Every structure is written in structure tokens, then in C-alpha cells.
Amino acid sequence: MPDWLCDAIVDSFHVLPLLFIVFLVIEFVEFFYSEKINFFMKKSEKSAPLIGSLAAIIPQCGFSVIASTLYIRRFITKGTLIGIYLATSDEAIPILLAQPTQTHYIFPIIGIKLLIGICAGYLIDLILKDNKYIPIVEETDEDIHEGCCHHSVSHRRKRELIYHPIKHTLNIFIFILIITVILNFVLAVYAEHSVLHLLLGKVKFLEPVITAFVGLIPNCAISIALTMLLIKGSISFGAVMSGLLSNAGLGILVLCRHNENFKDTLKVIGILLGISIVSGLLIQILY
């Protein structure tokens, strides 16, 4: 089996248990505790960008997927989602840890991603008006067709507490697996390090712009490639930060697939991209 195919399967299965647990918890909460969760979400709304960004800095691939799922269900705000995307950490930190001479980059990367994630999260929630948590009990029959199953949360039977989480999980898992296989194949064939090196070699000032767009590709190999280019001195620190800020991993994939409001998805991606580019350019100028 080719390495790119093996990696795609392993990466996809890696998020499977966490996805199922989250969907199972959401289903139980909606079924038994809808009024209590509405009260809790209203009370914790102000601290959500902080909590989400702090959780996102732990190196893993699955948290942005969970954040996208919660956002699609309107359990978290747009500011919290984008804050999590910006702070999300995956392979960059382990790669740097494996290079003793490059460990001095670790705390600046984590600190900057965390700071930008928290600040951006609160600022977005402060500015945007179409960005409120939607209480479960206020949803109408037209509003509560959920993703892959198209079921109503107001007319459910207990057997659906297991059935729907399984179906939601498999639906997202299959989608992630297919896209990851395609991306891994393309990256393996075209040797992502060489392609990025070619793109970035002659446009130093525009590096953060290019890496921000590259970072949107929902694949862990992107953060690895950007980090390796930083280690080799091929790109600036501002450029790698721009790419790592926009690299929300598989979360973007899930958002594009399951968010029924296409304009809202474009708005999220646009804000994420804009913040990443501006931050990268500022870091490149100041660093």
C-alpha cells in the first residue's frame, strides 16, 4: 500500500472515535437537557473564544472538526469557531520538537496563535450581528434538519440516540477519507515541498499571502511542509505563521460539506484568510 494512501486512512480513522463521542454527547444533550444546555450556553458565551482557543493549541487534528460540527449546530458563535481555527495546532509542534536546534520557535508559534485566536474571536463576536447562539427549543421544524440525516430534533425516539450519531459520524468520516486520499495523492505526486519552494522563492514580501492560501488546504502535510521550509530557512517566520494560522485542518472540510449556508461558509473562510494574511505581514515586518 502506498504511503500516501496509508497516511490518509490512518489520519481519517484517527478522528473517528472523537467524532462519534461528540455526536453521541450532542444527541443526548439535545434529547434530555435542551433547556439546561440553552441556559449554560448563554452563560458561557462570553468565555467561549478563550476556552476554545486554549483547547485548540493542544497538538491534534480533530478539534477543528469538532468546532465545525458545533458551529453548524449553532452551539458556538462565529468568533469562537474562527478563534479555534486560528489557534489550532497539529504537526508543526512535534516537527519542531524533533529538531533540537529549532525548538526556540515553539513558544512564539503557540503564543502568537493563541493570542490572535483569542483576540480575533472576541472581536468577531463584538462586530458581527448575525452571530448568536440559537437555542435548541427555539428551532422550528424547518430549521432542524440535521446534516446527513435530515431528522427533526423535536420528534425523536430514544433509539435514534444511537442511530443518528452513528450516521452523522460515518457521513463525515467517509467524506474526510475521500478528500484526504485525493489530497495525499496530489501532494505525493507533485512533491509539495518542491512546489512550495518554487512558489515562494522569488516573492519574499508576498510570502505570507501565498502561505495563507496554501494553509487553507485541509491536509496535515501542509503544516509539515511549511514548518520544514522554515527550518531550512526557505521562508520567513511571518510566512510560516500566516500559513499555520489559516491551516485549520479538516475543520474547513467539514464546514464546507455540512454548513447549509454557503455564504456563511465563505464569510468564515474569508475572515480566517484575512486575519492570517494581515497577521503574517505584520509579523514579517516586525520580526
pLDDT digit string, tens, across residues 157-174:
566 678 878 887 787 788
Domain boundaries, position 13: 3-286
CA dihedral of 101, 201, 224, 169, whole degrees rounded to 10 = 160
Cβ-proximal residues to 85 (8 Å cutoff; 6+ apart), any chain: 56, 64, 67, 117, 246, 248, 251, 252, 272
Residue pair 147/72 in contact (Cβ under 8 Å)? The answer is yes
pLDDT value, residue 145: 39
pLDDT value, residue 117: 96
Residue 271 has pLDDT above 60, yes or no: yes
Whole-number average pLDDT of the chain: 78
Higher pLDDT, 193 or 255: 255
Residue 202 has pLDDT above 70, yes or no: no
Mean pLDDT along residues 227-243: 86
pLDDT value, residue 243: 94
pLDDT value, residue 32: 67
- Among 205, 206, 217, 262, which residue's Cα sits nearest to residue 244? 217
Q: What is the DSSP string of 157-192?
A: -TTHHHHHHHHHHHHHHHHHHHHHHHHHHHHHHHTH
132 conformational bin, left if phi > 0, alpha if psi -120 to 50, beta if neither = beta
Residue 201 has pLDDT above 80, yes or no: no
0.85 exceeded by pTM: no
Residue 149 has pLDDT above 90, yes or no: no
Confidence of residue 137 (pLDDT cuts 50, 70, 90): very low
pLDDT digits (tens, 9 = 90+) for 61-80: 667 888 898 898 888 899 99
- Whole-number Å distance between alpha carbons of 198 and 210: 12
pLDDT digits (tens, 9 = 90+) for 173-186: 887 788 778 877 87
Q: What percent of the chain has pLDDT over 90?
A: 25
- Among 276, 226, 268, 221, which residue's Cα sits nearest to residue 249? 221
Number of folded domains that form the chain: 1
Q: What percent of the chain has pLDDT over 70?
A: 75
In the chain, how many H helices and how many E strands? 14, 0
Confidence of residue 112 (pLDDT cuts 50, 70, 90): very high
Residue pair 163/156 in contact (Cβ under 8 Å)? The answer is no
Higher pLDDT, 86 or 39: 86
pLDDT digits (tens, 9 = 90+) for 11-66: 778 778 877 886 787 677 666 665 555 555 555 667 889 988 988 887 766 678 88
pLDDT value, residue 148: 40
- Whole-number Å distance between alpha carbons of 239 and 211: 6
Pull the grid cell for residue 224.
509539515
C-alpha distances in angstroms, 39 versus 26, 45, 60? 15, 10, 30
Residue 239 has pLDDT above 80, yes or no: yes
Residue keyed to cell 502561505: 211
